[in-house]
Chain A
């Protein structure tokens, strides 16, 4: 029951989605639409599981007074305030939830990732070296693209945007497409293995 039923569920769900793609008629159309609506509900519970896991880890950290437990209190307070205000008083403009989103979440989220601008510059200065022919090619493409995408590039040489667009449209597209096709074939084979029950690692370890 612990292994066989999940394998059957995977098989039925997978096959239904494949069949409905080619046969968009009854009973597959209605059945697959039902599956889709169920899916978005179950996917939501999967995400709630993630939130539950965060709560569990940090409650444990506080209860055992582990180093940095004070930060866990801040995390849980932030979580509780945002969730309760949103669920209790709504999420529209003018609510506490909306205020928290614009004045807490936006500055925190955008600054967190903005830090990378500094680190990427430092890394480019220290580590981006033309050690081999391939690395030189990478470096040259990066510099041309970087300059072609900003107005100062046009100021330096008016053909930079044309060269940059050509690199993006042809050599870049060729490389990206080769990667894309390779990944696609990998995904197709992995999906087939999952549907047929050959690949079972998603079920995790244990009995």
Chain B
């Protein structure tokens, strides 16, 4: 069994969270709130050390790059959202963020998630699997096309599209199970190995 205080604290907190499996209780609530608090504190420390200091404080106040007053001002305007009366000021920096993202998304999504995917689907049909891939993508897109009623051949194609989507959802479910199981294995390994020392 571990003799390290940190391991005991971690084990106690792990058990606090796992106690929720029995029912909601004060130990779980304590751990839950501590989690939210330490997470927010962790991020705040990183904002300071990894961004505000090297990318804003040093260029603006040590290197004298006055142009950095603009992001500083916009950043402070963003914080105005905390006060409802002057919250509208935060729209300026928000507009900058939304506009930048919109500009990026317009191009990158079109290129990476639409055009490149269409191109990869339209490869020579060298085997049956490639034909299946093509049919799946086409019928799946037909299913998502709601401007025409899903009837007749169009409706049948949409139905084939649903089958492909169902297989994809099934695969996603299988992988989700795998992910969640991995997480509990990780915690059990910690309890059995690092805390109790019953496995190598």
- Which residues of chain A have a CB within 8 Å of any CB of chain B? 2-3, 5-7, 9-18, 21, 34-54, 56, 68, 71-72, 74-87, 90-91, 97, 99-118, 120-121, 124, 134-135, 137-146, 149-150, 166-185, 187-188, 190-192, 194-195, 202-204, 206-207
B23-60 contacts to A (CB < 8 Å): 29-49, 51-52, 55-56
Closest Cβ–Cβ distance, residue B181 to chain A (whole Å): 5
Chain B hits for A168, CB < 8 A: 171
Q: In the complex where A41-B51, A110-B183 touch, is A13 in contact with B96 (Cβ < 8 A)?
A: yes
Instruction: Give 27 pairs: A residue, B residue, CB < 8 Å, sorted on A.
Output: A13-B96, A41-B56, A42-B96, A45-B93, A48-B47, A49-B78, A50-B40, A71-B33, A79-B40, A82-B41, A83-B45, A86-B44, A87-B48, A110-B183, A111-B14, A137-B166, A141-B170, A142-B173, A142-B177, A168-B171, A172-B171, A175-B164, A177-B140, A181-B118, A181-B137, A185-B114, A206-B88
CA distance A29 to B93 in the complex (A): 21
Is the Cβ of B165 less than 8 Å from the Cβ of A179?
yes
Interfacial chain A residues near B113, Cβ < 8 Å: 180-181, 183-184, 187
Residue contact A117 to B183, C-beta cutoff 8 Å: yes
**Is B1 interfacial (CB 8 A cutoff)?**
no
- Whether A175 and B136, one on each chain, are in contact in the complex, defined by CB atoms closer than 8 angstroms, is yes
Q: Is the CB–CB distance between A45 and B78 below 8 Å?
A: yes
Nearest chain-A residue to B31 (Cβ)? A108
User: How far apart sit A117 and B175, CA to CA, in the bound complex (Å)?
Assistant: 12
B76 to chain A, nearest CB (A): 7
What are the 9 closest A-B residue pairs judged by CB atoms, nearest first?
A174-B136, A178-B140, A86-B45, A175-B168, A82-B41, A141-B170, A78-B37, A17-B103, A13-B99
B33 touches A203 (CB 8 A): no
**Main SS of the interface on chain B?**
helix
A75–B34 alpha-carbon span in the complex (Å): 5
Given A118-B184, A173-B133: A105 touches B33 (CB 8 Å cut-off): no
Q: Is the CB of A21 within 8 A of B107?
A: yes
| List of B residues within 8 angstroms of A202 by Cβ | 94-95, 98
Minimal Cβ-Cβ distance residue in B for A169: B129
Number of residue pairs A-B, CB distance < 8 angstroms: 398
Contact call B117/A181, Cβ cutoff below 8 A = yes
Residue interface mask B92-117, A partner, CB < 8 A = 1: 11111111111111110110111001
**What is the chain A residue whose CB lies nearest that of B41?**
A82
Q: Once the chains are docked, how many angstroms separate the CA of A13 from the CA of B74?
A: 14
On whether A175 and B165 interact (CB within 8 A), knowing A18-B106, A86-B41, A182-B141, the answer reads yes
Query: Given the complex of chains A and B, what is the CA–CA distance between A86 and B41 in angstroms?
Result: 8
* Residue of A45, A48, A143 most packed against chain B (CB within 10 A): A45
Known: A84-B41, A114-B18. 19 other contacts (CB 8 A): A40-B51, A41-B52, A48-B75, A72-B33, A74-B30, A107-B14, A117-B181, A124-B177, A139-B170, A140-B170, A141-B166, A142-B173, A170-B129, A171-B164, A171-B167, A177-B140, A178-B137, A179-B140, A202-B98
In the complex, the answer to whether B44 meets A71 with C-beta atoms within 8 Å is: no
Tell me if A137 and B170 are in contact (CB < 8 A). Answer: yes
B104 / chain A contacts, CB cutoff of 8 Å:
17
A79 touches B37 (CB 8 A): yes
B180 interface residue (CB < 8 Å to A): yes
A71 touches which of B21, B29, B78 (Cβ 8 Å): B29
Residues of A within 8 A of B39 (CB): 105, 109
Q: Across the interface, which residues of A come within 8 angstroms of B98, CB to CB?
A: 10, 194, 202
Question: Given the complex of chains A and B, what is the CA–CA distance between A192 and B109 in angstroms?
Answer: 12
Contact, CB under 8 Å: B105 / A191: yes
Q: A37-B55, A108-B35 are in contact. Are A170 and B43 (CB under 8 A)?
A: no
